[in-house]
Each structure stands twice: as C-alpha cells, then as structure tokens.
Amino acid sequence: VAVCQCDPPDCEDFEVTEQDLVMWGVSCPRLGQALGRALGCSGRVEPAGVGGVWDIGVLRGSSVGALLSIQETADEFRGAVAEISGRLKGPFLLIAPTGTYLSVASRQLLAGAGAKFLDMESDIKFQSNGVLAASKRAREVVLSFVPEEREGLRRNEAIQVFKFLQGLGNDD
C-alpha cells in the first residue's frame, strides 16, 4: 500500500502490485566507461580492489588514474578514500555521484595524496542525446593533471581533445 507522506496528508492511499514496481540498478562498469569517455580516459574499467571503487582508466596525456567511488554511507566513503589514498603512490582523480560524503577528513586525505575530487551531481552532465559530458570545471580539473609538455602529447593537444568532446553536444 502506498501511503501519503504530505504534511498535512491530503492524498488517498492506494495499492501497489508487484507489476507496478520497477527495480533500477546501476552497472558500475558501464557508468565507468561513460565517465571515462566524458573525461578523456584511456584503459578499461575494472574493480579497484576497494569495495565500491572502480578504476575507470588513465587520464589521457598523464599517468594519473581516475576512480569511480560509489558508497552508501559517509563512513564507507571515508574508509574508501583512506584506503585508496594509502594504496596509490601518486595523484589520482576520484569521482563520486555526489559530494555529500566528502568530509574534512576525506578532503585532507585526498590533498595529502595529491588527488582531486569531482562529483557527478555538479561536474558531469547528461547531454540531450543521453551521453555524459564533463563540465568546464571538470575539464579544468582533468587538465590540471596534464603536464605542460610531454612526449607525444602536449597540453594544447589535450585541450583540443576536450574541445572535440565538447563539440559532441556538451551543453555547458
């Protein structure tokens, strides 16, 4: 039975059958692939060895890994940040669905590791065709990991890659 949650209640209760229910789930590998494309990552999506954390690739033009973290509680998120920060020996980009669980302690752990954080709620947008796109801020964060000059790929080439991706329909 569905019951009104309005304050004050003004809706009538009604029955919900099993056929009325729709179960939704998230495919972390597919979400990771879409995020990787939006952020210009190369590589394949795989579990990172920390519960709820997925390695979604390496940011093009750098050796910096990008990780997707999906936890259900603030404590789980902080624990995942602590474990990732302790395991990785260099900077990384951490992406989560929201910044709600990003506490002062988590920020300190990320800063100590040279890592940066993006939340999908603010930094990743759906385009009208359903494809994920990085916001301007997200593109700037990614570019901050790209060295000024690098063998085979320069910073301005990375910028051109993002402009190309932006041209695919980014609504920024």
The answer to whether the beta carbons of residues 40 and 142 sit under 8 Å apart is yes
The least confident of 38-52, 104-118, 150-164 is: 150-164
pLDDT at 18 over 90: no
Per-residue pLDDT band for 154 (boundaries 50, 70, 90) equals low
What local confidence, expressed as pLDDT, does residue 8 receive?
Answer: 86
Mean pLDDT of 59-72: 93
What local confidence, expressed as pLDDT, does residue 15 receive?
Answer: 84
pTM above 0.85, yes or no: no
Mean pLDDT of 122-126: 93
What local confidence, expressed as pLDDT, does residue 19 receive?
Answer: 83
Mean pLDDT of 116-130: 93
The answer to whether the beta carbons of residues 33 and 25 sit under 8 Å apart is no
Alpha-carbon distance of 46 to 86, in angstroms, equals 19
The answer to whether the beta carbons of residues 127 and 170 sit under 8 Å apart is yes
Q: In 19-103, which residue ranges form alpha helices assigned H by DSSP?
A: 28-39, 74-87
Mean pLDDT of 65-71: 96
Q: In the chain, which residue ranges form alpha helices assigned H by DSSP?
A: 28-39, 74-87, 104-113, 120-123, 136-144, 155-167
Pairing of strands 53-59, 65-69: antiparallel
133, β-bridge pairs = 125
The answer to whether the beta carbons of residues 134 and 165 sit under 8 Å apart is yes
What tokens were used for 32? 């990771």
Alpha-carbon distance of 154 to 146, in angstroms, equals 8
Q: For a pLDDT cut of 90, what percent of the chain falls above it?
A: 58
What local confidence, expressed as pLDDT, does residue 151 receive?
Answer: 47
